[in-house]
């Protein structure tokens, strides 16, 4: 595991979020020192969340995220509340279109996974505004990428792995792509691994997230 951000983390303060602690053990904490750009944490119906305003809220991640020779796996429980243009929930790069890895919503309400100039999109209509979704992306060492939304496979295809390079401009809820907008909505939890999880492992993680957040079946 590379990164684990959980809104239910007891050390995450309610209100403005200056630090979202990483629970992976890698100290990849998401931080925002600027008050005007901090998202907010709170609770609704007993479920914790981190809310981004879709204008200028985002969090910075430390340098790293360099070795994906064994593939990668991303799990995120998210809700998009604004119909912004190509907002990213997670982007790792060394600058706009430089060594970039991006997970973002695209026109047509689909999820896109972008590596450099290549983009791979889930089925359209998968991410409607105002509805929580469990987004799963696995990318194998054999360079096959697979999208799953709410535990259902939507698409897979051959897709080149990210190059092994340390990335220094890394964000939650922010993109360096022009003219893409900021993420507006809620993130409950993100788990990110530096290898492809096998189907039995994917099922365990998805079951854990669906049970925990009471959504995304």
Strand partners, 184: 53
For residue 139, is it left (φ>0), alpha (ψ between -120 and 50) or beta? beta
What is the per-residue pLDDT across 99-126, written as a single tens digit (0 to 9) for each? 999 999 998 889 999 998 888 888 888 8
The highest-level CATH class for domain 3-213 is: mainly beta
**What pLDDT band is residue 82 in, cutting at 50, 70 and 90?**
very high
- Residue 85 has a pLDDT of 95
Closest CA to 57 of 197, 215, 156, 171: 171
- Confirm whether pTM is higher than 0.85: yes
**What pLDDT band is residue 68 in, cutting at 50, 70 and 90?**
very high
């Amino acid at each position: 595991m590379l990164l684990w951000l959980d809104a239910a983390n007891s050390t995450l303060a309610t209100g403005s979020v200056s630090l979202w602690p990483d629970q992976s053990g890698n100290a990849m904490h998401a931080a925002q020192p600027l008050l005007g750009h901090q998202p907010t944490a709170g609770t609704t119906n007993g479920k914790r969340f981190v809310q981004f305003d879709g204008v200028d809220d985002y969090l910075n991640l430390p340098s790293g995220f360099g070795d994906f020779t064994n593939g990668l796996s991303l799990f995120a429980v998210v809700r998009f509340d604004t119909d912004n243009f190509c907002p990213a929930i997670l982007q790792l790069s060394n600058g706009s279109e430089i060594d970039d890895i991006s997970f973002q919503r695209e026109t047509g309400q689909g999820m896109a996974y972008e590596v450099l100039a290549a983009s791979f999109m889930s089925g359209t209509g998968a991410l409607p505004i105002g509805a929580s979704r469990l987004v799963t992306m696995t990318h194998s060492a054999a360079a096959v990428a697979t999208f799953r939304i709410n535990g259902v496979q939507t698409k897979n295809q051959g897709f080149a792995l990210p190059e092994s390079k340390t990335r220094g401009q890394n964000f939650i809820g922010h993109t360096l792509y022009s003219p893409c907008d900021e993420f507006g909505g809620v993130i409950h939890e993100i788990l990110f691994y530096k290898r492809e999880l096998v189907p039995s492992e994917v099922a365990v993680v998805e079951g854990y997230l669906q049970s925990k957040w009471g959504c995304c079946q």
